[in-house]
Chains A and B, each alone.
Chain A
Amino acid sequence: MSTLSLARAPAGRRAFGGRQALIEKLTGIGFATPAIILLLLIDLVPLGVLGVLSFTDYELGGTDAKYVGLANFSKAMADPVFRRSMWNTLLYVAIVLPGSVGLGLLVAILVHGRKRTRSFYEMVYFLPVTATLIAMATVWQFLLHPKLGPVNAFLRLIGAGEYAFLSEPSLALPTLAVIGMWQLIGFNMVLFLAGLSSIPKDLYEAAEIDGCANGIDRFLTITWPLLGPMTMFVIVTTSITAFKIFDTVAVMTRGGPMGSSEVLLYAIYLEGFQYFHTAYAAALTVIFLAFILAFAVIQAFVLDRRVHY
Chain B
Amino acid sequence: MRAAQAKPAGAGRIVRLAGRLLGGVLVHGFLLAGAAFMLLPFVWMLVTSIKPPDEIFTATLSFWPKQFYGYENYSFALTSAPLLRFALNGVLICACILVVQLLVAIPCGYALAKLRFPGRQTLFVLTLLALAIPVQVPALPLYIALADLGLLNTYFAIMVPFFLSVFAIFLLRQFFKGFPDDIIQAARLDGMSEFEIVWRIVTPSAWPAIAAFAVFSIVAHWNDLYWPLIVISDVKLAPPPLGMMFFADAETGSNYGALTAAATILTAPLVVAFLFARRRFIDGITMTGVK
Chain A interface residues (CB < 8 Å from chain B): 1-2, 5-6, 8-9, 20-21, 23-32, 34-36, 38-39, 42-47, 49-50, 53, 60, 103, 107, 110-111, 113-114, 117, 119, 121-136, 138-143, 147-150, 152-154, 157, 182, 185-187, 190-191, 194, 205, 208-209, 230, 233-234, 237, 244, 246-247, 250-251, 265, 268-269, 272-273, 278, 281-282, 285, 288-289, 292-293, 295-296, 299-300
Chain B interface residues (CB < 8 Å from chain A): 1, 5, 27-28, 30-31, 34-35, 37-42, 44-45, 48, 56-57, 59-61, 103-105, 107-108, 110-112, 115-120, 123, 126-128, 130-134, 136-145, 147, 160-161, 163-164, 166, 169, 182-183, 185-190, 194-195, 198, 219, 222-223, 225-226, 229-230, 240-242, 244-245, 248, 253, 256, 259-260, 262-263, 266-267, 270-271, 273-275, 278, 281-282, 285-286, 288-290
List A contacts of B240 (CB < 8 A).
132, 134-135
- Asked whether, in the complex, the Cβ of B138 is within 8 Å of the Cβ of A42, the reply is yes
Q: Tell me, in angstroms, the Cα distance from A187 to B141 when the chains sit together.
A: 32
List A contacts of B262 (CB < 8 A).
135
Among all A-B residue pairs, the 10 with the closest Cβ atoms: A28-B117, A46-B138, A296-B132, A28-B115, A31-B107, A38-B164, A46-B141, A134-B241, A35-B108, A135-B263
Q: Which residue of A lies closest to B263 (CB)?
A: A135
- Asked whether, in the complex, the Cβ of B141 is within 8 Å of the Cβ of A139, the reply is no
Q: What's the minimum C-beta distance from A164 to chain B, rounded to whole angstroms?
A: 14
- Asked whether, in the complex, the Cβ of A35 is within 8 Å of the Cβ of B164, the reply is yes
Q: Which residue of B lies closest to A284 (CB)?
A: B140
Q: Tell me, in angstroms, the Cα distance from A220 to B245 when the chains sit together.
A: 46
Q: Which of A122, A187, A250, A288 contacts B285 (CB 8 A)?
A: A187
List A contacts of B185 (CB < 8 A).
6, 9
- Asked whether, in the complex, the Cβ of B137 is within 8 Å of the Cβ of A50, the reply is yes
Quick one: given A60-B144, A142-B260, are A107 and B31 in contact (CB under 8 Å)? yes
Q: Which residue of B lies closest to A125 (CB)?
A: B38
List B contacts of A8 (CB < 8 A).
189
A to B CB contacts below 8 Å, 23 in the list: A1-B190, A21-B116, A27-B194, A31-B111, A31-B194, A32-B112, A38-B104, A38-B163, A42-B142, A43-B166, A53-B141, A110-B31, A122-B282, A132-B222, A132-B270, A141-B253, A191-B286, A191-B290, A209-B1, A246-B226, A247-B226, A265-B226, A272-B139
Q: Tell me, in angstroms, the Cα distance from A164 to B195 when the chains sit together.
A: 61
Q: What's the minimum C-beta distance from B80 to chain A, rounded to whole angstroms?
A: 15
Quick one: given A153-B61, A187-B285, are A39 and B126 in contact (CB under 8 Å)? yes
List B contacts of A35 (CB < 8 A).
104-105, 107-108, 123, 164, 169
List B contacts of A121 (CB < 8 A).
31, 35
Q: Which of A20, A140, A237, A251 has the most CB of B within 10 A?
A: A251
- Asked whether, in the complex, the Cβ of B278 is within 8 Å of the Cβ of A123, the reply is yes
- Asked whether, in the complex, the Cβ of A31 is within 8 Å of the Cβ of B115, the reply is yes
Q: Which of A113, A135, A246 contacts B267 (CB 8 A)?
A: A135
List A contacts of B145 (CB < 8 A).
46
- Asked whether, in the complex, the Cβ of A269 is within 8 Å of the Cβ of B226, the reply is yes
- Asked whether, in the complex, the Cβ of A138 is within 8 Å of the Cβ of B259, the reply is yes
- Asked whether, in the complex, the Cβ of A244 is within 8 Å of the Cβ of B134, the reply is yes
- Asked whether, in the complex, the Cβ of A50 is within 8 Å of the Cβ of B244, the reply is no
- Asked whether, in the complex, the Cβ of B48 is within 8 Å of the Cβ of A50, the reply is no
Q: Which of B144, B164, B241, B281 contacts A42 (CB 8 A)?
A: B164
Q: Tell me, in angstroms, the Cα distance from A268 to B137 when the chains sit together.
A: 10
- Asked whether, in the complex, the Cβ of A130 is within 8 Å of the Cβ of B285, the reply is yes
- Asked whether, in the complex, the Cβ of A50 is within 8 Å of the Cβ of B140, the reply is yes
- Asked whether, in the complex, the Cβ of A32 is within 8 Å of the Cβ of B123, the reply is yes
- List 6 additional A-B contacts (Cβ < 8 Å) besides A6-B189, A31-B198: A27-B194, A132-B222, A139-B45, A154-B61, A273-B230, A285-B140
Q: Which residue of B lies closest to A190 (CB)?
A: B286
Q: Which residue of A lies closest to B182 (CB)?
A: A6
Q: What's the minimum C-beta distance from A302 to chain B, rounded to whole angstroms?
A: 11
- Asked whether, in the complex, the Cβ of B142 is within 8 Å of the Cβ of A46, the reply is yes
Q: Tell me, in angstroms, the Cα distance from A131 to B103 when the chains sit together.
A: 28
- Asked whether, in the complex, the Cβ of A39 is within 8 Å of the Cβ of B136, the reply is no
Q: Tell me, in angstroms, the Cα distance from A292 to B230 when the chains sit together.
A: 21
- Asked whether, in the complex, the Cβ of A42 is within 8 Å of the Cβ of B140, the reply is no
Q: What's the minimum C-beta distance from B44 to chain A, rounded to whole angstroms?
A: 6
Q: Which of A47, A143, A209 contacts B133 (CB 8 A)?
A: A47
- Asked whether, in the complex, the Cβ of A126 is within 8 Å of the Cβ of B182, the reply is no
Q: Tell me, in angstroms, the Cα distance from A31 to B105 when the chains sit together.
A: 9
- Asked whether, in the complex, the Cβ of B30 is within 8 Å of the Cβ of A187, the reply is no
Q: Which of B40, B112, B117, B270 contacts A131 (CB 8 A)?
A: B270
- Asked whether, in the complex, the Cβ of A107 is within 8 Å of the Cβ of B34, the reply is yes
Q: What's the minimum C-beta distance from A103 to chain B, rounded to whole angstroms?
A: 8
